Structure 1
Amino acid sequence: MSNERPWLDHYPDGVPAQIDMDAYASVVAVLEEAFGRFKDRPAFASFGKKLSYGEIDAMSAHFAGYLTGELKLAKGDRIAIMMPNVLQYPIALFGALRAGLVVVNTNPLYTARELKHQLEDSGAKAIVVLDNFAATVQQVVADTHVQHIVTTGVGDLLGGLKGMLVNTITKHVKKMVPEFHLPQAVRFADALDRGAHHPLPKVVLTHQDLAFLQYTGGTTGVAKGAMLSHGNMIANMLQAGVWIGRNTKLGEEVIITALPLYHIFSLTANCLVFTRLGGLSWLITNPRDMPGFVKELAKSNFTAITGVNTLFNGLLNTPGFAELDFSRLHLSLGGGMAVQRAVADRWKKITGCTLAEAYGLTETAPAVCINPLDLKEYNGSIGLPIPSTDVAIWSEDNQPLPLGEVGELMVHGPQVMQGYWQRPDETAKVLTADGWLHTGDIARMDASGYVYIVDRKKDMILVSGFNVYPNEVEDIVMQHPGVSEVAAVGVPDEHSGEVVKIFVVRKDPNLGEEELREFCRENLTGYKRPKLIEFRTDLPKTNVGKILRRELRDEKKVPAAAH
């Protein structure tokens, strides 16, 4: 069988070919094991405040009690969590899972339009939101199924004077909390107090039960909820866990969590994998503040860090980073976008730790391939398929290709989603009857089982590890009355890998760049907004009139000045 799975011969020592899916009945079983084993160890840290596993256990139990006892939410109901990396996040997350609810992770930077779509589509009955983003909820909540709102401030769990200070600075000095009016909302601390009067619900969960609706554009524009079950999440936790296992020490790891926990990479790799190991997740609320980020790193005594290429590059270019103590660092994992060789080489030189590239998808919870952690240097590959995962390269007519041939990367394994929420048509496009997932990525596999991405999903734009679907950007720009035609493409950018560029044919000859930018600001999250705008008299098209994005992408034009 090994010749069909060449990668197994190249696995790091001690990594099994298969994982034991029966080890845990649900994600909750993993959490409760960790709460018991690591009761007095620190679990999460933020703004200098640490919460132990025991404290997280108690608070998440209270939150679960609130959701079921006070709000009467039932197993399978959806709850949206709209927060950056703050201590409230894991408490809300673990509480919701312990109550048997399905978590809908929501990007706090969503515009009203994007948020409304996600809340409507998921049918979420409740939302937990940080004050900074509550104004967006206020705009749309009346048009959704949301009946319950829980709000919280950045400093609410930091305690005493410090918490008050952080909240005051956030609101009044930095002006980061737009005014909002949600009279029906309950404060997070009050929810915990009220929940303490209710018992922890006894919910029976199996591998088949849904844990998350993780929204993604897939390969097309409109955001769809990937249905990730408890089984999917356990699988990926165990797969990643055995891969990094030999290097990790139970109860002693400190992982830097700078990627947002609402992103599947951070959710699984940082929050869940390291909770099972009894690690301390050091939450970085605003990784864009690089000097502040480096100060946090100096305090943390970290052993592991995950990130996207832009994040590692940013750190390498921040004064003070090179002087940090890297003696405990043994795991640097890059994913979400291609890791660039120059960045990987510099990272190794400065930290002494190889930056291992991994590959995954929202639809696979997310890990599919990871490079061996004992890799001596960057190899340009996304790594080997992880345990219990089959990977194949298929031709356009869905036939497996021999090693070395280029085709579509296909994935099969226990981490592959159940499908897209309430979209059987979209599910059928990507999942075969026997469970193989079309990734839409073009790849090849070498004789040792290493996989190389040759070309990404044809038109997708990857900005700092976030997928931007040209269709969505074009759909929005087309809503401007002065626009006749538009095409969105990705152009290389040294900071974020790629940025969005749009080519626009005007309907109104007076339409200017600034007006269009303002329109995009109102309707698109930051990373989706066009950085470059070029006006054209016409756009290249196929004989059936389809705009040729590839042709625009391939033009060796001097990019317009960035703003």
Structure 2
Amino acid sequence: METTPTPPAPPPFQAIADLMRAHARARPAQVALRQGDQLLRWAELDAAMDRVAATLQHEGIAPREAIAICGHNSLDYAVLFLGALRAGVTVAPLPTGTTVAQLEGMVADSGARRFFVDASVPACAPNVPRTRMDDADALRAWLVPPGTKPARVKVKPDWAFNIIYSSGTTGTPKGIIQSHGMRWLHVARADNYGYGPDSVAMVATSLCSNTTLVCFFPAMAKGGCAVLTEGRFDAAGYLALAERVRATHAMLVPVQYQRLMAVPDFDRYDLKSFHMKFCTSAPFAAALKADVLRRWPGGLVEYYGMTEGGGTCILEAHLYPDKLHTVGKPAEGHDIRLLDEAGREVPAGEIGEVVGRSGAMMTAYHNQPAKTREAEWYDEPGNRFIRTGDVGRFDADGFLTLMDRRKDMIISGGFNVYPSDLEAVLREHPAVADVAVVGVPSAEWGETPAAFVVPRAGAPEPEDLRAWANERLGKIQRLAAVRYLDELPRSDIGKVLKRELRERFAGRG
């Protein structure tokens, strides 16, 4: 068992929307939100939030009821989200790029009373009113007159703040309920990383993702400025924007760091304003962390955890440059344990499934009690933990090294093969830009590893790369195939969709 000392009690709970009202009164002319040439100052944002809250109340949407939002990041998206919170209304920010059936299912499951979309969302027929948030006339027609004040709502910590739909990389989307109290814990620790009225946080991942929200809401709650990027992620454009706005904070996923560090003239950009950069959501290669530390000013923090909550590990990479192969130590007050296949805790130094417990756990999967029970593990005294499905091992210093997702582990001839080990070897080849290893069926071994590689210019033939790798791998690890792709299939927040790769190998995708 790995745990950290119980932290001091956090400050008394405050609703984020109430904190934002105080910032608007203290610094009305300071910029709070920016995207391209558009900006909202704190007084303007506060008034816009009031207008949204009043409209929801006028429509009869009560506190603890829900709305759903689906679309690309925009100022209107952010204002709708924040205004709903002021009314005590739960927000279900839905992922783009899903099927119509999945989208309709998520809207229905959330119980949303209204559905806000933009032009990127396919036509679908959920049985709720639908409003185009990117259509100024439609949005104006829905809103009550400017200056309308909402009735005051006293939000409670156990109320649902948002419902994040996450199925990882497989399965039907599950609604993860996160409370106002959980979000408050994120805000309460934001001082540790320099958030404040002078912070400028870059937002380059979707507002539908918990990855984004763990950076966006501390910036807002502490009275800083959030800068939303536009369109598809453009590495050179991101660096130029960060230089121009004097960014201090950023949350990025590993594939974004990879693309940024590969910009040929990266070193010409002035990034000295950065105080802290964050990363989460997908494996973050040690060599890439080292490159970020060497060339990009400011600290680098990696979070390991799940949208569902449970325990979190934190690696302050700038403080522990010899631990870049790990995801850090349990956060203060978080209890992380490792289990064997039978659900028993494993001895120190052994490999096991990661389970965690903290004050930031999800309440439940929305409307899915059976799935909730599957995700839970209880220790002997009856304390509730969340299962991650990840396999890892603690080192002698209490740092956690992840091996792989349990469902992605390959069992070949009765032996466990960890794809991450094979991917690390392949990344040593200079012609490999990106790689993912999956298990595919084998008549002889049950499963066997296959690699999907994004090659650089001048790469050898796939069979030659396979031979190169197999010379460096153990007998049970050897690759049965190497296939080249232009890019790996990824989710909105950069996770490799290994299910799609397995389907492609089988000829189904």
Which among 383, 395, 408 is matched to residue 459 of structure 1? 408
Aligned to 1:79: 67
Mark the CA change 1:419 to 1:6 in structure 2 (over 3 Å): closer, same or farther.
closer
What is the correspondence of 1:424-443 to structure 2 with a 5 Å cutoff?
Answer: 424-432=369-377, 434-443=383-392
Code of the aligned partner of 1:562: L
The change in CA–CA distance for 1:6 and 1:374 in structure 2 (over 3 A counts) is farther
Which structure carries more strand by proportion?
Answer: 2
How far apart, in 1, do the equivalents of 2:311 and 2:85 lie?
A: 21
Residue 149 of structure 1 and its aligned partner are, at CA, apart by 2.1
What one-letter code is carried by the residue in structure 2 that aligns with 1:211? F
* CA distance 1:30–1:21, change in 2 (3 Å): farther
Q: CA RMSD in A?
A: 3.0
Which residue type is aligned with residue 330 of structure 1?
A: H
Residue 77 (structure 2) aligns with: 89
- The equivalent residue for 1:329 is 274
Aligned to 2:245: 300
Q: Give 1:191's aligned residue.
A: 142
Cα shift at 1:226: 0.7
In 1, Cα distance between equivalents of 2:265 and 2:222 = 30
Q: Choose the corresponding residue for 1:54, options 43, 62, 66.
A: 43
Instruction: Pick from 158, 162, 166 the counterpart of residue 208 of structure 1.
Output: 158
**Structure 1 equivalent of residue 188 of structure 2:** 238
Decide whether aligned partners of structure 1 residues 413 and 367 sit closer, same or farther in structure 2, where only a CA change above 3 A counts: closer
Of 255, 262, 265, the residue aligned with 2:211 is 265
Distance 1:325 1:367, change over 3 A: farther
What is the DSSP-based 3-state SS (H/G/I as helix, E as strand, rest coil) of the residue aligned with 1:262?
Answer: coil
| Aligned: 1:339 with 2:328 | no
Name the counterpart of 1:64: 53
Describe the SS at the equivalent of 1:371: strand
Give me the whole-angstrom Cα distance separating, in 2, the residues matched to 1:111 and 1:495: 30
d(CA) in 2 for partners of 1:561, 1:204 = 55
| Cα 1:230–1:374 shift into 2, 3 Å | same
Partner amino acid, structure 2, of 1:306: M
What are the residue-to-residue correspondences of 1:477-488 with 2, within 5 Å?
none
> Which residue pairs with 2:95 in the alignment?
107
The partner residue of 1:371 within 315, 323, 334 is: 315
Compared with structure 1, are the counterparts of its residues 412 and 290 closer, same or farther at alpha carbon in structure 2 (3 Å cutoff)? Answer: same
Report the CA distance between 1:46 and its aligned residue: 0.6
Given that 2:289 and 2:324 are in contact with CA atoms closer than 8 Å, whether structure 1 keeps it comes out as no
Contact 2:77 2:133 (C-alpha < 8 Å) held by counterparts: no
- CA shift, 1:312, in A, is 0.9
Give 3-state SS (helix, strand or coil) of 2:316's partner: coil
Amino acid at match of 2:31: P
Spell out, residue by residue over 1:154-205, the C-alpha distance to the aligned partner (whole angstroms, 9 max, x if none): xx6xxxxxxxxxxxxxxxxxxxxxxxxxxxxx7224434x253643132232
Q: Please, which of 101, 104, 108 is the counterpart of residue 116 of structure 1?
A: 104
Q: Superposed, which structure 2 residues align to 1:530-545 within 5 Å?
A: 539-540=441-442
Task: Give yes or no for contact 1:306–1:334 (8 Å, CA) kept in 2.
Answer: yes
- In structure 2, what residue type is equivalent to 1:382? V
Q: Are the structure 2 counterparts of residues 339 and 421 from structure 1 closer, same or farther at C-alpha, using a change threshold of 3 Å?
A: same
Amino acid across the alignment from 1:65: A
Cα gap change, 1:249 to 1:28, in 2 (>3 Å): closer
Residues 146 and 369 from structure 1, CA distance in 2 versus in 1: closer, same or farther, beyond 3 angstroms? Answer: same
1:93-172 map, 5 Å: 93-133=81-121, 136=122, 138=123, 140-141=124-125, 144-153=126-135
Counterpart Cα distance in 2 of 1:357 and 1:37: 33
Give the match's secondary structure for 1:358.
strand
Matched, 1:221 2:171: yes
| 8 A contact 1:68–1:74 mirrored in 2 | yes
Is this contact kept in 1: 2:335–2:357, CA < 8 A?
yes
Task: Report how many aligned residue pairs link the two structures.
Answer: 440
Q: Does 1:389 align with 2:334?
A: yes
Q: Quote the residue 2:483 is aligned against.
A: 560
User: Aligned letter for 1:212?
Assistant: N
Match of residue 468 from structure 1: none
Distance 1:421 1:431 in 2: 14
* Paired residue type of 1:95: G
Q: Give the secondary-structure state (helix, strand or coil) at the position aligned to 1:560.
A: strand
Say if 2:6 is the partner of 1:24. Answer: no
Identical positions, percent: 21
CA distance in 1, matches of 2:225, 2:434: 28
Match of 1:256 in 2: 202
**TM-score, length basis structure 2:** 0.78
Q: Distance in 2 between matches of 1:549 and 1:354?
A: 41
The residue identity in structure 2 corresponding to 1:254 is V
Structure with a larger share of its residues in helix: 1
Deviation at 1:231, TM superposition (A): 1.4
| Aligned AA (2:96) | P
What is the 5 A alignment of 1:172-187?
Answer: 187=138
Amino acid at match of 1:362: T
Q: Deviations over 1:359-401 (max 9, x none)?
A: 121101x881212364152621212222332212223333333
Say if 1:34 and 1:275, in contact at 8 Å, map to a contact too.
Answer: no
Distance 2:434 2:232 in 1: 14
Of 356, 359, 363, 1:418 maps to 363
Deviation at 1:58? 0.8
Provide Cα deviations, 1:312-338, integer angstroms capped at 9, x if missing partner. Answer: 111112244321112221212121111
User: Normalising to structure 1: TM-score of the pair?
Assistant: 0.71
Once residues 21 and 197 of structure 1 are traced to their aligned partners in structure 2, the CA distance between those partners, rounded to angstroms, is 35
Query: In the TM superposition, what whole-angstrom CA distance separates every residue of 1:72-97 from its partner, at most 9, and x where no partner exists?
Result: 21122221111222111220111111
Letter in 2 for 1:187: A
Secondary structure, aligned partner of 2:374: helix
User: In the alignment, what sits opposite 1:315?
Assistant: 260
Displacement of 1:290 = 2.6
- Report the CA distance shift for 1:558/1:124 in structure 2 as closer, same or farther (over 3 A): same
